[in-house]
């Protein structure tokens, strides 16, 4: 029986009749309540109840609203699938909610595109249609509580509140001491997303099997030709990372259990085998090369083979910690017994090439426009490496970028003297000299300088690792979860101190819908009294809103209240 918005009014106490009338706080509360019940049933291994609750969640109005909102406010919202359809208006989003039904659902083929990788190769992406994305987001709401409950403790990729920095911190815990493991198996799965066995997924992923099969067999359209998909889960789908995680869940737990059974718990512990995984990349530590080569690696290969996967021969190796190894853009190596983590040479070279290409590709733009292009890149790279030993890499990168910018400046004025070029493009700000900066006129009419982000000024601050037993759907950890989210958001905003102040004053919530502001949702800085009407730029006249809420506020002239600064 088709479930319409009208029939599903029980999901909300006051069902809305248009997109603007939705109470997003209540939507999130309804969805999270169901997810907590699914996670509880999973921990109790009550699989019949899990299945019933998942079916119930995917049919609620709240879950459908949540799914449509997610796919229309993320970065891919402007990228269409094969049907070229976009949900870029409140009316189209509202109509889309009623189309998220299981009965008669048939996904369209994915649109195949390729994006360049750091090694010069290309990564294939499959772009689903907006409706298929929303259906994936809907069923992901029901799958995520189960996958989180079944995940390995030290799996960090594509999981709620976990990051590459958490994986880095866990490796530091496992290898930093004098008596820690000395050898590392650097593993990489060959084409993980492309080769996962469909039969294994259908039999082991705890979700609606019929829907999952339709997604897996939807096919791809490339250069006008339809291609069948006999294996793998295409990169680009919202649910694909979680499917890959479910596929690799058990790698850590089952390996430790295997070693405990074969050698005994006491002896297995002395082998110092630890698994740290981020998506399809993982490292396994060990006390000797022999245990990794003769025991761990064959077991891992057999584990992957049942899922249709195999290790990449060119990227999988066993390394001593004194020689060092690269993982997630960092180099881990012991110097005279002390473990230091630094930006890897490959990461530094790749980033410099990206910056150099940006500079050389914008030879004729205004200086301020070039700075606007470079600053997000520089800030993002510097902040990524801020938890590790990166000061030397920062200084080196700044020097290389300065040389590129000097060449960029000289090329524009080949007949001018060095001192003239320096005066035009570079200046001194405080104790900083040779700062690449452009004069600008601010909105209030005052003059100022717009300078290039100072990489070497980035503060090195050790990352606070997430708790190993953290579960995002455990009510007992709700307070810890909120504190963790706010700390990490404020940390990511620490070079935008005004945003951080506004974020804390709003308790990390959007001033309009009272839902969480995250890196995924993004945010806009909204002036309560518009600047064109004489409003000031003071914090008392500003709030942070979700991008979509910002559009609604302006389109509907909705009043937004100002939380008091704490």
What pLDDT score does 552 carry? 79
Q: What average pLDDT does the segment 55-76 reach? A: 92
Q: CB neighbours (10 Å) of residue 467? A: 13
pLDDT band at 494 (very low <50, low <70, confident <90, very high): low
Contacting residues for 198 by C-beta, under 8 A, at least 6 apart: 213, 216, 217, 230, 231
Rounded to 5 degrees, what are φ and ψ at 157?
A: -85, 135
Which helix (DSSP H) or strand (DSSP E) does residue 348 occupy?
helix 345-360
What pLDDT score does 503 carry? 82
What pLDDT score does 1 carry? 36
Lowest mean pLDDT among 117-131, 191-205, 469-483, 487-501: 487-501
- Strand 183-188 and strand 330-335: the pairing is unpaired
Spatial separation of the C-alpha atoms in residues 107 and 130, rounded to whole Å: 10
What pLDDT score does 227 carry? 84
In the chain, pLDDT over 90 holds for what percent of residues? 63
What CATH architecture is 475-556?
A: Orthogonal Bundle (1.10)
Contact indicator for 165, 322 with CB cutoff of 8 Å: no
Domain boundaries, the chain: 345-451, 475-556
What pLDDT score does 441 carry? 79
Name the pTM for this structure.
Answer: 0.86
Residues 103-156 have pLDDT tens digits of 999 999 999 888 877 666 777 788 899 999 999 999 999 999 999 999 999 999
Residues 392-408 have pLDDT tens digits of 999 999 999 999 999 99
Q: Which among 158-172, 471-485, 507-521 has the top mean pLDDT?
A: 158-172
In the predicted model, is pLDDT for residue 511 greater than 50? yes
For the chain, give the mean pLDDT.
89
Q: What average pLDDT does the segment 67-78 reach? A: 87
What pLDDT score does 59 carry? 96
Helix residue spans in 128-264 (DSSP H): 130-150, 164-175, 192-195, 198-204, 209-216, 240-248, 251-263
In the predicted model, is pLDDT for residue 8 greater than 50? no
CA gyration radius, the chain = 26
Q: How far is CA 301 from CA 307, 316, 357, in A?
A: 10, 11, 40
Closest to 293 in 3D by CA, of 186, 178, 179: 186
Contact indicator for 458, 386 with CB cutoff of 8 Å: yes
Contact indicator for 293, 184 with CB cutoff of 8 Å: no
In the predicted model, is pLDDT for residue 547 greater than 90? no
Q: CB neighbours (10 Å) of residue 101? A: 15
Burial class (CB in 10 A: 0-12, 13-18, 19+), 363: exposed
Spatial separation of the C-alpha atoms in residues 86 and 523, rounded to whole Å: 21
Contact indicator for 536, 443 with CB cutoff of 8 Å: no
What pLDDT score does 13 carry? 52
Spatial separation of the C-alpha atoms in residues 247 and 200, rounded to whole Å: 8
pLDDT band at 355 (very low <50, low <70, confident <90, very high): very high
Q: How far is CA 352 from CA 343, 358, 374, in A?
A: 12, 10, 11
What pLDDT score does 169 carry? 96
pLDDT band at 545 (very low <50, low <70, confident <90, very high): confident
Q: How far is CA 461 from CA 348, 384, 491, 492, in A?
A: 19, 11, 10, 12
């Amino acid at each position: 029986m088709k479930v319409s918005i009208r029939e599903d009014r029980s999901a909300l106490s006051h069902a809305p009749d248009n997109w603007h009338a939705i109470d997003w706080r209540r939507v999130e509360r309804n969805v999270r309540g169901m997810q907590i019940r699914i996670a509880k049933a999973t921990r109790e291994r009550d699989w019949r109840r899990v299945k019933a609750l998942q079916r119930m969640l995917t049919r609620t109005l709240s879950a459908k609203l949540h799914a449509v909102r997610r796919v229309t406010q993320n970065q891919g919202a402007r990228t269409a699938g094969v049907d070229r359809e976009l949900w870029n208006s409140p009316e189209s989003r509202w109509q889309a909610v009623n189309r998220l039904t299981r009965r008669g659902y048939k996904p369209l083929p994915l649109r195949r595109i390729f994006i360049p990788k750091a090694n010069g190769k290309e990564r294939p992406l499959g772009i689903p249609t907006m409706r298929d994305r929303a259906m994936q987001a809907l069923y992901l709401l029901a799958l995520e509580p189960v996958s989180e409950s079944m995940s390995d403790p030290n799996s960090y990729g594509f999981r709620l509140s976990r990051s590459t920095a958490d994986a880095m911190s866990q490796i530091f815990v496992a290898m930093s001491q004098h008596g820690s493991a000395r050898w590392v198996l650097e593993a990489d799965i060959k084409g993980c997303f492309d080769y996962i066995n469909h039969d294994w997924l259908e039999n082991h992923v705890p979700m609606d099997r019929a829907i999952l099969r339709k997604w897996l067999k939807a096919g791809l359209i490339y250069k006008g030709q339809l291609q069948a998909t006999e294996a793998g889960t295409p990169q680009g789908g919202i649910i694909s990372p979680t499917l890959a995680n479910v596929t690799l869940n058990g790698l850590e737990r089952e390996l430790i259990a295997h070693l405990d059974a074969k050698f005994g718990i006491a002896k297995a512990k002395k082998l110092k085998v630890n698994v740290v995984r981020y998506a399809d990349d993982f490292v396994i530590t060990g006390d000797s090369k022999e245990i990794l080569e003769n025991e761990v690696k064959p077991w891992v290969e057999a584990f992957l083979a049942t899922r249709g996967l195999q290790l990449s021969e060119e990227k999988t190796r066993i390394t001593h910690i004194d020689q060092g190894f690269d993982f997630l853009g960092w180099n881990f190596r012991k110097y005279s017994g002390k473990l230091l983590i630094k930006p890897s040479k490959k990461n530094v070279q790749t980033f410099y090439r990206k910056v150099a290409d940006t500079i050389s590709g914008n030879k004729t733009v205004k200086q301020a426009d070039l700075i606007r292009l470079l600053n997000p890149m520089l800030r993002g790279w510097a902040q990524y490496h801020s938890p590790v030993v990166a000061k030397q890499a920062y200084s080196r990168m700044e020097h290389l970028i300065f040389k590129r910018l000097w060449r960029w400046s000289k090329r524009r004025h080949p007949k001018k003297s060095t001192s003239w070029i320096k005066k035009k493009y570079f200046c001194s700000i405080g104790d900083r000299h040779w700062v690449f900066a452009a004069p600008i006129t601010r909105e209030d009419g005052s003059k100022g300088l717009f300078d290039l982000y100072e990489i070497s000024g980035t503060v090195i601050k050790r990352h606070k690792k997430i708790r190993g037993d953290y579960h995002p759907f455990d009510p007992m950890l709700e307070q810890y979860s909120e504190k963790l989210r706010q700390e990490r958001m404020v940390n990511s905003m620490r070079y935008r101190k005004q945003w951080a102040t506004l974020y804390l004053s709003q308790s990390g919530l959007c001033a309009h819908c009272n839902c969480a502001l995250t890196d995924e949702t993004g945010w806009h800085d909204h002036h309560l009294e518009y600047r064109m009407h004489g409003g000031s730029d003071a914090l008392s006249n500003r709030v942070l809103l979700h991008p979509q809420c910002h559009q609604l506020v302006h389109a509907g002239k909705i009043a937004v209240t100002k939380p008091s600064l704490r």
